[in-house]
A and B are shown apart, each in its own frame.
Chain A
Amino acid sequence: MSKTYYTKDHEYLVVEGETATVGITDYAQEQLGDVVFVELPEIGRQVTKGGEAAVVESVKAASEVYAPVAGEIIEVNNGLADDPGLVNQDATGQGWFVKLRIADATGLDDLMDEAAYKAYLATLG
């Protein structure tokens, strides 16, 4: 049974047990436009909550992707190296960025659930 959380920076986090799959939301990929490169962290790296976990580059600009919770990077999506467009085509599926082992689950407490995220998006117009 998984649960999905969202951040105000438009990252999503699918939590199963102590593992979280992190990516950017469909709203975020839409805002970025065509993704042409994703810089992913090395496996084993410890990330802090709110710390940089990846960089996503569109034709226009580079944007940082932050870790929604603290943890250790246990897997990265190597498919993005050959096809960064997966982020546009399937942001919450094949376009995931990293998997991390959650170090501190209390870091999930201030994240939004899907209903709260949708309400948040509505405020952005």
Chain B
Amino acid sequence: MIADAPLAKTPLHDLHVALGARMVPFAGYDMPVQYPTGILTEHLHTRAAAGLFDVSHMGQAFLEGEGVAGKLEKLLPGDIAGLAEGAIRYSQLLDGNGGILDDLMVTRISDDLLFLVVNAGCKAQDFAHIAASLDDCRLGVLADRALLALQGPKAAEVLARFAPETAQMAFMTWREMTIDGVKLYVSRSGYTGEDGFEISIPSAAARGFAEKLLAQPEVKPIGLGARDSLRLEAGLCLYGHDIDTTTNPIEAGLAWSISKRRRAEGGFPGASVVQAALAGGVARKRVGILPDGKAPAREGTDIADAQGRIIGKITSGGFSPSLGRPIAMGYVEIAHAQIDAPVTLIVRGKPMPARIAGMPFVPNRYFRG
């Protein structure tokens, strides 16, 4: 990306500015990192009530074609053909070595129609890759739609005031609905560890709907800063940091997203690498890390063993507003990956004791119906 290229704006850009957001460049977009109340307050509000996030920078598309659910399986290890209609799967686009090109959400609307949501920073290459690889399918990128995320324990109650049929949706399901004459694609999913929804809405209607949600007493606008601290507490990967082309899904602790059938059958890029990792284990693994002290250990921090030998690196680290302490995730050699194993973090040249921890750091509260 060219550093001084003009930043794109989402349909909610003017609303963010009007709300007093601090805007920063992110994945080519001018995005709100925080609003005047600050990241800590936004984070805790999302855990306590409901937060509204603008995630319109992410890529949304329909992928259509005969048997497309099966065909997309050539590009990723998730079980798409076996998904119920209207169910969502988290998966990863892989390269020939099993490296992760991007992670994404795939909804199976029918055997012949899928809805995809991919990361903002990867969307151009993802869509080019999918279109080129599945040349008998039609990829319809939804550039004229915003994406709002409403997350938190009050999200369902709030959204049901406007879209009553969302109340009964189970976690990881998708539904098309028309509200006030506007067609919405609603997913019960998110990136915070809380119950919540992602709402695809035509750009022209986005600000009006966002303002209706923000007028609800439970809802506050939440920026990218709290989005990052929330997903870190939830143990969720951030593409380009915790996962990338140098990591495969098994090292990344994402084996849960690969079904028994797909493990056995393979038929996705890097399948031999992934199958070998499943059968024979991995040399390193993504783990949670709890520093003993109060100093946060940031991305790039070296992890050492008791003898001072480097055994890994932190890929995401910061302060957990919910726990009031630093938390991190990163990769360590497998011999050091067991929960409670002691490790040493090298923070600004100084050794800091820490231990390996399970994730999520804060329990998930997804709605199971």
Determine, out of A10-18, A32-40, A43-51, A106-114, the stretch whose residues face the partner at the interface: A32-40
Complexed CA–CA distance, A88 and B250 (Å)? 42
Q: How many residues of A contact B (CB 8 A)?
A: 14
Complexed CA–CA distance, A122 and B296 (Å)? 33
B295/A57 in contact, CB under 8 A: yes
- Contact residues, B15-71 vs A (CB, 8 A): 33-34, 38-41, 43
A59/B294 in contact, CB under 8 A: no
Contacts of A33 in B (CB 8 A): 34, 38-39, 225
A1 at the binding interface (Cβ < 8 Å): no
Nearest A residue (CB) for B33: A60
Contacts of B225 in A (CB 8 A): 33, 59-60
Q: What number of A-B contacts does a CB cutoff of 8 Å give?
A: 42
Contacts of B229 in A (CB 8 A): 59
Chain B 294-307 interface mask (CB, 8 Å, partner A; 1/0): 11101000000000
- Contact residues, B317-332 vs A (CB, 8 A): 318-319, 321, 326
- Chain A nearest CB, measured from B17 CB (Å): 14
B309 at the binding interface (Cβ < 8 Å): no
- Chain A nearest CB, measured from B16 CB (Å): 16
Contacts of B41 in A (CB 8 A): 34
A60/B39 in contact, CB under 8 A: yes
Complexed CA–CA distance, A37 and B317 (Å)? 13
Complexed CA–CA distance, A36 and B294 (Å)? 9
B368 at the binding interface (Cβ < 8 Å): no
Complexed CA–CA distance, A58 and B226 (Å)? 12
Which A residues form the contact surface with B (CB < 8 A)? 33-34, 36-37, 39, 55, 57-62, 81, 88
* Listed A/B pairs (30) with beta-carbon separation below 8 Å: A33-B34, A33-B38, A33-B39, A34-B38, A34-B39, A34-B41, A36-B40, A36-B296, A36-B319, A37-B295, A37-B296, A39-B295, A39-B348, A55-B348, A57-B296, A57-B319, A58-B39, A59-B39, A59-B40, A59-B43, A59-B225, A59-B226, A59-B229, A59-B319, A60-B33, A60-B39, A60-B318, A61-B298, A62-B296, A81-B294
